[in-house]
Structure 1
Amino acid sequence: MNKRLISTVIFILLIMTCISTAFAVSTVSGTIQYIDLKNNSVTVLDFQNNIHRAYIDKNTDILTEGKESGLKDLYFGQYVEVSLSGNRALKINASLQIEPDRQGYIVPGSRFRRGEVFSIDNKSIEIKGERGREKYALTSSTEVYKKGEETGLSRIKEGDKVLLTFDDIYSSNVSQISIEDEEKHIEGVLKGKIEFLDENKKDIQLNEVSIYNNGKWDKNSSYSLKLKIQNDEIYYKGEKISLKSLKAKGKKEVYIAFEKSFGEMTASKLLVKEGSSFQYTDKIKSIEYGTGRMVVDNNSLYFNQGTIAIKDNRLIDPLNMNRGQDVSLYGEFSSGNKLTSLVFVQGTGILNDRADDTKILVYRGKIEDIYDYQVKIGNINYRLDYMLLDDNRWKEMSEGERFTVTEDTYIYDSDLRLTVPTDGFISSRYIDLNDVEDKTLRDRIKNNFYKGKIAYFVVKESPYGKEVLGMNITPQLSQYRQNVTLDYSSIGEIKSVDYDNNTIKITKMKNYNTLNNQWESTSDESISLNKTLVLLNDKPLKNDELYKLSEKNTVYIIRNKSTSQDGVYVLLVED
């Protein structure tokens, strides 16, 4: 009996020990490396270079300098102490200082600056932060991270929120750039009348709300709307004002660029509307930054720091607007002048010059010859030269070019809807044809079928040459007698992805009108990707990799009118 009692007591003690061990509280100190707003977690790198992932729930206490805050208030590189029970965060203490208790020791990457990108090239980056505009040097050793993965300077855009870290406290050379996730991009722009403003809670309630949607203002489904105001980006007649001053102005109409996180809308920039409205859509013919003046649609307009400028779903400084950009803008008449309140820079930067001195080019032409890791592009037919997409228009190129082909080049036969092995494309002697399962594809490789066929070439241009990232061969499109191009461009944003049917739905859709050289809004559209060469951030995707596409990804679409239903042959995607 005593033995049984003793055994029971020992068993209970063992269970209690296991439970106490499982729920033991540990503390991790280090810097935030990644914030996952979708899965409510933060990744922390401690001072022994160990990675810890902490999950946050409604009971987690998050404090910044002793004040209550939230997950969305944390940022990359911030020093934190995390109390953990397993992988669940019980408490997070965040500091605005740089490792306050480390007695002057500078851990590599510990000095940092945070702000929004004003400008960037391969030698420097200029950001706007709490100290105003600051410029720092970039070197070949500067690392760039997005979503916790290493990437390149080409992924950084004006208006991106970034964290710069420095290994040397005495140097202006940036050691690492972390790009914040798209969850902190601008969700949209709205206008409405102030109904109520709470200075203490920093809440603003609007009525008569309309939300900008692809060239028009849609009335909000509910009459009133509440937003948080968590910064000082509040403007009236070009000057910053306080919440108190905004409240004193009464029930004024305002424009607001807003973010959305955890279902809560936050005002990123607010401008008080003053005067009767006007609207123009055209290119910026000229712009003078010193006087804050630009010409659009033959009208002289003024802008200032209060002007809300949006590009690539990012809030940019009005000084980032450039001559030649397509814009849609709204403003007011004031004291005989036209003041610009709101500017949407049209198009996308996917095909623009990039910070790392690279550029994506799209060609269409004949595969004139195939060499050892090279391909030569030639004229489409005897009446039509090969084409280069330049400023959203196709222009003829008279002299043939050679591009580099590598083992990473993705070659797609959109007639067969199959991938062509790169070594087989270069020469059938480099491949065991028995490894090619499809008989038609096997015969095409064996008979050098692809030489002389028409294709779309997606090429990455750099100071070192032109490399083919992807090629879509389209033998099904006969153009022997054609002397005009039937290709045109569209842009938009992914609304949803249907993996089973290989289709995506595009919203905020615009087609480029080559007659008036403007982007024109159109309705949402579902497109099939069965015949499409898809590249995500310069990386080709196979048909079974479409799961890598996400909602809100920006897309540039190249289509052809030669069929009853316009074919989509190239899809360039950026996150």
Structure 2
Amino acid sequence: MKKTLILILAIALMSSVFAYGDVSQVYRQGFVEGYLMEPLGETLKIESYEGNIYSLPLRLNTIYTIDAQYVNASNFIPGMEIYAEVHGRSVTLVEGYSTSSLGYIPPGSKIRTGRVAKIDNNVLVLKLATGNEETFFLTPATVTLKNGVNTSLSALYEGDKVKLYFDEVNANIVSRIHIEGDSIRINGLYKGKVGVVDGFANKITINDVQVLKNGSWSKSNSAALTIPYNGNVPLYIGGYNIPYDNLKYYKGKTMYIAMKDFFGSNQADRMIVQNQYESTYSDKIKDINWFTGEFELKNNRNIGFHDGTIVIKNDRIVDNFSLSSDSDVFVVADGRGLQSSADVIYVLNENVNNSNIGQHYIYAGRMDQIVEDRLWLKNFFLLEENDWQSFDDEKELFFDNDTDIYDLTNNKKLSLKEFYSGSYAVDEDSKYAKDNRLRDWHSYVYTDGDRISAIMVQKNMDSLLRQRVTNGVIAPGPNSIRQDRYAGWTIELTNARDWSSAKAQWMEKNANLNINLEKALIIKDGKQIQPYDLKAGDRIYLVRDDFYGKVLIVK
């Protein structure tokens, strides 16, 4: 009897080592990492690094790799460390890793996944799923991929979800970085009343739904929304963390939700419950006290923040430490009187570069000389901190076979030879130039360092004093990008902001904005594109002369 009792106790203890995890969490996350528990068949049985066990269905076309080499499912051995990607409730990719000797791994087989917490030149701070942060280093040899396409490290944003690959076990130098696509982006900030909470399916219904649009709350197209949420993301009210099991007790309370697209449907990325009363502010942060967890706005208003504050920057969820004393922000504060804390901070700042990794510039000026691989701008202008700065000097810039060159006056794309052999830069004092009434042409130039990525040339110089810088999002709807019968290609922007040189901050527009692109240089991923290549939801940075766009960068 005693032996039987001991045996039962031992079995119970062994079975308690493992726990079957909530598979819906894996479906929402899109991946799982850990140890293979049994040979692959119709399902993948994996013990995650956290100790949870998941059984996930495999597809007929699931891709299998070990040490970055394509293999068959039969090559996977129980106990092997694996990474599995999950889409549509089934496994699409299984990556395995084998280590033949201590300290050595096949190149690219060590992986870290997480959100970019900070970018500082060649230093990348990654926030892992555990909540811990690790620091890694980037080099010119680091390969950067986004949506499977090779791109530049300058495409990185704070808040991006990335997968880092390494060539050595103990090294912190990134050999390859995969940037997740637009699914990481916040597509709207909503508020509404807490309704039905389904804790089993991790879904919540919110009523009286409003969406933040053009700096104020507007009624949503749907009076009520039922959306899934991630139960592993902390939930807060009044600066205090609350369990999701208690969410049903807050029925009728106001909730703020940062929404993202998840396979074509809305999903709550972050949520916070309002504690007292709402106030909103649109201003510049003057100072931040990290010790007390407060910031002061330019209007001298002090507002607290905490771990549950939702901070959105470049349409991505970021850490509080992404805030700075020059951040222009829209704040949704929660409190009463002089005592309030921020439930939501929406950072309005935008620039030519995504981070200090980028070295992209916008120039305007007269082309004084053009040779086979370079040109010189004379008395040029540089867009710096959203304002045109003039320089009484020459600027040497280089071009190559991959440079996009467009003649706006004659509406045609130029070859390299047509550009440097044409009459776009002449000796204005020469007899030939005077006899033929030739003068130097003017240009808008988008560069990567001193290399010209794209250039648009025109006979006459625009008045730069009339121009302003605007950022925003191309509005949803079939007519937000249209070829008008009379005006030509025109886009409609929502959540637009103009840079005010006088106030040195971004000023929100209270209505949608129409911009004509018939005479605009449009850049995406470092290349010139056409207006019909744009799409609703694109974030843009724009130099414009009232209704007319001059230079547009898709962010």
TM-score between the two structures when normalised by the length of structure 2 = 0.75
Match of 1:521 in 2: 509
Q: Which amino acid counterpart does residue 204 of structure 1 have in structure 2?
A: I
Contact 2:442 2:460 (8 Å CA) reproduced: no
**CA shift digits 1:408-445 (9 cap, x unpaired):** 33222212112233323223499xxxxxxxxxxxx99x
Match of 1:171 in 2: 171
Contact 2:63 2:92 (8 Å CA) reproduced: no
Contact 1:312 1:349 (8 Å CA) reproduced: no
Match of 1:383 in 2: none
CA spacing shift, 1:522–1:370, aligned 2, 3 Å? farther
**CA shift digits 1:126-176 (9 cap, x unpaired):** 111223111122233321110011112111100011111223223222222
Q: Does 1:568 align with 2:541?
A: no
Q: How far apart, in 1, do the equivalents of 2:188 and 2:333 lie?
A: 18
Match of 1:10 in 2: none
Match of 2:498 in 1: 511
Q: CA deviation at 1:274?
A: 1.5
SS in 1 for 2:172: coil
Contact 1:232 1:242 (8 Å CA) reproduced: no
Q: How far apart, in 2, do the equivalents of 1:394 and 1:350 lie?
A: 13
Q: How far apart, in 2, do the equivalents of 1:173 and 1:139 lie?
A: 7
SS in 1 for 2:200: coil
Match of 1:367 in 2: 367
Q: How far apart, in 2, do the equivalents of 1:46 and 1:317 lie?
A: 34
**CA shift digits 1:349-403 (9 cap, x unpaired):** 4345432xx3222222222233452222223xxxxxx422222222222333222
Match of 2:288 in 1: 287
Q: How far apart, in 2, do the equivalents of 1:240 and 1:349 lie?
A: 34
CA spacing shift, 1:221–1:368, aligned 2, 3 Å? same
Q: Which amino acid counterpart does residue 228 of structure 1 have in structure 2?
A: P
Q: Which amino acid counterpart does residue 498 of structure 2 have in structure 1?
A: N
Q: Which amino acid counterpart does residue 99 of structure 1 have in structure 2?
A: G
Q: How far apart, in 2, do the equivalents of 1:316 and 1:478 lie?
A: 38
Q: Does 1:347 align with 2:349?
A: yes
Q: CA deviation at 1:526?
A: 4.5
Contact 1:190 1:211 (8 Å CA) reproduced: yes
**CA shift digits 1:228-269 (9 cap, x unpaired):** 122323112223321023333443211111122244322211
Q: CA deviation at 1:334?
A: 5.1
**CA shift digits 1:38-71 (9 cap, x unpaired):** xx9998463496779xxxxxxxxxxxx9xxxxxx
Match of 1:555 in 2: 540
Q: Which amino acid counterpart does residue 471 of structure 1 have in structure 2?
A: I
Q: How far apart, in 2, do the equivalents of 1:45 and 1:139 lie?
A: 29
CA spacing shift, 1:247–1:106, aligned 2, 3 Å? farther
Q: Does 1:402 align with 2:396?
A: yes
Q: Does 1:79 align with 2:84?
A: yes
Q: CA deviation at 1:519?
A: 2.5
CA spacing shift, 1:262–1:109, aligned 2, 3 Å? same
Q: Does 1:391 align with 2:385?
A: yes
Contact 2:62 2:92 (8 Å CA) reproduced: no
Q: How far apart, in 1, do the equivalents of 2:170 and 2:279 lie?
A: 51
Contact 1:510 1:522 (8 Å CA) reproduced: no
Residue correspondence of structure 1 range 177-196 to structure 2 within 5 A: 177-196=177-196
Match of 1:418 in 2: 412
Q: How far apart, in 1, do the equivalents of 2:62 and 2:140 lie?
A: 27
Q: CA deviation at 1:94?
A: 7.2
SS in 2 for 1:187: strand
Equivalent in 459, 463, 466 of residue 475 of structure 1 = 459
**CA shift digits 1:454-482 (9 cap, x unpaired):** 22222222xxxx22222222324576xxx
Q: How far apart, in 1, do the equivalents of 2:218 and 2:422 lie?
A: 57
Match of 1:489 in 2: 469
Q: Which amino acid counterpart does residue 339 of structure 1 have in structure 2?
A: S
Q: Does 1:301 align with 2:325?
A: no
Equivalent in 52, 57, 65 of residue 46 of structure 1 = 65
CA spacing shift, 1:226–1:140, aligned 2, 3 Å? same
Q: CA deviation at 1:347?
A: 3.4
Match of 1:99 in 2: 96
CA spacing shift, 1:94–1:201, aligned 2, 3 Å? farther
Match of 2:9 in 1: none
Q: Tell me the matched-pair count.
A: 472
Q: Which amino acid counterpart does residue 133 of structure 1 have in structure 2?
A: E
Contact 2:63 2:93 (8 Å CA) reproduced: no
Q: How far apart, in 1, do the equivalents of 2:465 and 2:444 lie?
A: 13
Q: How far apart, in 1, do the equivalents of 2:423 and 2:499 lie?
A: 44
Q: Which amino acid counterpart does residue 572 of structure 1 have in structure 2?
A: I
Contact 1:367 1:376 (8 Å CA) reproduced: yes
Q: CA deviation at 1:558?
A: 1.4
Q: How far apart, in 1, do the equivalents of 2:161 and 2:535 lie?
A: 20
CA spacing shift, 1:406–1:237, aligned 2, 3 Å? same
Q: CA deviation at 1:326?
A: 1.3
CA spacing shift, 1:194–1:42, aligned 2, 3 Å? farther
Contact 1:301 1:339 (8 Å CA) reproduced: yes
SS in 2 for 1:485: helix
SS in 1 for 2:465: coil
Cα RMSD (Å): 3.7
SS in 1 for 2:96: coil
Q: How far apart, in 2, do the equivalents of 1:242 and 1:395 lie?
A: 52
Q: Which amino acid counterpart does residue 535 of structure 1 have in structure 2?
A: I
SS in 1 for 2:528: strand
SS in 2 for 1:99: strand
Residue correspondence of structure 1 range 202-213 to structure 2 within 5 A: 202-213=202-213
CA spacing shift, 1:352–1:199, aligned 2, 3 Å? closer
SS in 2 for 1:350: coil
Contact 1:190 1:209 (8 Å CA) reproduced: yes
Match of 1:135 in 2: 135
Q: How far apart, in 1, do the equivalents of 2:84 and 2:398 lie?
A: 45
CA spacing shift, 1:369–1:28, aligned 2, 3 Å? farther
SS in 2 for 1:322: coil
Q: How far apart, in 2, do the equivalents of 1:314 and 1:298 lie?
A: 27
Paired-residue identity, % = 26
